[in-house]
Amino acid sequence: MQELVVSAIARPFLVSLLAATSVTLPSLVHPGDSTPFQLAQGFSSWRPYANPNRLISVGMNKGEVLAIAGAPNHEESYYQSVGGRLVRVSDWYYIQTGLNPETTLLKFVEENLVSITSTPTR
C-alpha cells in the first residue's frame, strides 16, 4: 500500500473532511491518535464505467482522472478553511445506470484525489 504524506497544515483539514464524509484513509490513522474517525466503505482504487480496463487510485491528480474516466456526470466545488487559508475541495460524481446502478464519488483536495466512495442506488 502506498503511504500518503500529509502536511501539518492539511492534516486537520483532512481529518475534519474525512470524518464529515464517513471515509478515512488508513495512512492517516496512527496509534494513540485521539482524533475520532468514522470508518466507511471507501476504496483506494476504482475502475471507471467508461474505461473499465484502467484503474483510478487515491493520490492521482484531476488531469490523470479526467484522462482515464472522462468528465464526471456532476461536479461540486467549495472552499474550506484550513489553518487560516482556504483550500478547494471538489466532489466528482460518476453515475452508473443499468443492471448494477451505483454512484461513485471522487473527492479531491486541491488537485489530488483523497477518497473514493461507491454507493449502490437501488
Note down pLDDT in tens along the chain; length 122 residues.
333 444 445 445 444 444 444 343 344 434 443 333 333 357 899 999 888 999 999 999 999 999 999 999 999 999 998 888 999 999 999 999 988 899 999 999 999 999 999 999 87
Query: Among 65, 119, 113, which Cα is nearest to 95's?
Result: 119
pTM: 0.65
Domain limits, the chain:
41-120
Q: Class of the 41-120 domain?
A: alpha beta
Torsion of CA 96, 97, 103, 106, to 10 degrees: 20
Distance CA 10, CA 8 (A): 6
